[in-house]
Structure 1
């Protein structure tokens, strides 16, 4: 234990080392969940997510897209609601995620936020999002803005995810997709290609090490203290 850190609990203090990064290789394809934030029939956030899914699969990923139609408002239904269960199971299955929201009134949509709010930080001993990679995107009806992606980054950090540096903001989205919902060639499309490539790289680099990367002193201390208290109680009885 460092002499200059007298408040450290010695049994919970560990010095990070590269030896802990020697995880067994993972052979299955990277598992990516994609969420979008609009229920419109012609939803540009869904179109962008579908393009991202095609690109991720081209880069070697397995993808799932969650349809938020029918998802209740947070706390307006039990956690075993069929759509809530589907979303939570997909989040647990995933190793990385992509979130894309329209910007509405200068913010992400309620549909986008509701999906994230239904995924708690912890379900028992399981943390559904901790250590997973994340890419954030938004679509706008007007000029380019970054309000929604900035909010999504805050949520990604709050959900303890590894959010990649790159991001996408598609301005005047109604001009960027054809009648079939396919994205036209443009720098906006190229940016989504970049994001898919970067997300795959970060996922491949981190998925075998997420447990180590998210192993924290404060949680080890909490566990050690709780264990000590239980042992003391057992000895007293």
Structure 2
């Protein structure tokens, strides 16, 4: 299943992940919903271009991708949660069943732009948990030699947000050399790795999305709920 919009793909080798090959009979059959975040506001942002390539691949693999564009998002604590861009990213995080985070590496770390987006997504929104038990793929771009500082930091964040971060990842060095004047990625092992990461993300999302409740059921939270219920019953009895 290759598309004209994927010029780097060998059609005979490309295939969309199928839940049947994983032995799954999905309870819900809608396409996996994937939110993609990128970490630069530059007019020609290579993290955005990588995310756009990933979006094309995800769509060809049968997923439903959506990109959040961070321009206009206030810094955490410098704006109100009612801000339209904050509401947008929170709604998308709740909608998503998996995510892709792609950051440039700046001063050996992820950018403040990507961190601000993640910081606006809370662990809970009322009864909803926007990130817990959802899948995550991490990627980075850099202007110099290949590095993994940003993806390593994004993995720490993914764990903190209680997400299932897939094993594979992508790091694109000298990203300015990997894109043509048309802003499309050139054929390379770096492009092939992005294909691998998106395939793995879709497979893991199929695997876990119907099972999030069972995978995230915790004794400590059951105890907290029981204690809270007991406190309410005792309060009413007074």
TM-score, normalised to structure 2's length?
0.88
In 1, Cα distance between equivalents of 2:182 and 2:213 = 42
Cα RMSD for the two superposed structures: 1.2
User: What stretches of structure 1 of length at least 5 have no aligned partner?
Assistant: 1-21
CA shift at 1:233, angstroms? 2.2
Whether 1:71 aligns to 2:73 is: yes
Residue by residue, what CA displacement relative to the aligned partner does 1:215-237 show, whole Å, maximum 9, x if unpaired?
111100111111112212222x1
The runs of at least 4 aligned residues of structure 1 exceeding 4 Å deviation read: none
Residue by residue, what CA displacement relative to the aligned partner does 1:125-170 show, whole Å, maximum 9, x if unpaired?
2111111100000000000000000000000000011100000000
Whether 1:138 aligns to 2:163 is: no
Q: 1:44 aligns with which of 39, 46, 59?
A: 46
Structure-2 residue corresponding to 1:129 = 131
Contact kept? 1:23, 1:208, Cα under 8 Å: no
Aligned to 1:116, the other structure's residue is in SS state: helix
Structure-2 residue corresponding to 1:18 = none
User: What stretches of structure 2 of length at least 5 have no aligned partner?
Assistant: 1-23
Aligned residues, how many?
215
In 2, Cα distance between equivalents of 1:75 and 1:23 = 44
In 1, Cα distance between equivalents of 2:113 and 2:98 = 20
Q: 1:192 aligns with which of 186, 191, 194?
A: 194
Structure-2 residue corresponding to 1:118 = 120
CA shift at 1:24, angstroms? 6.2
TM-score, normalised to structure 1's length?
0.89
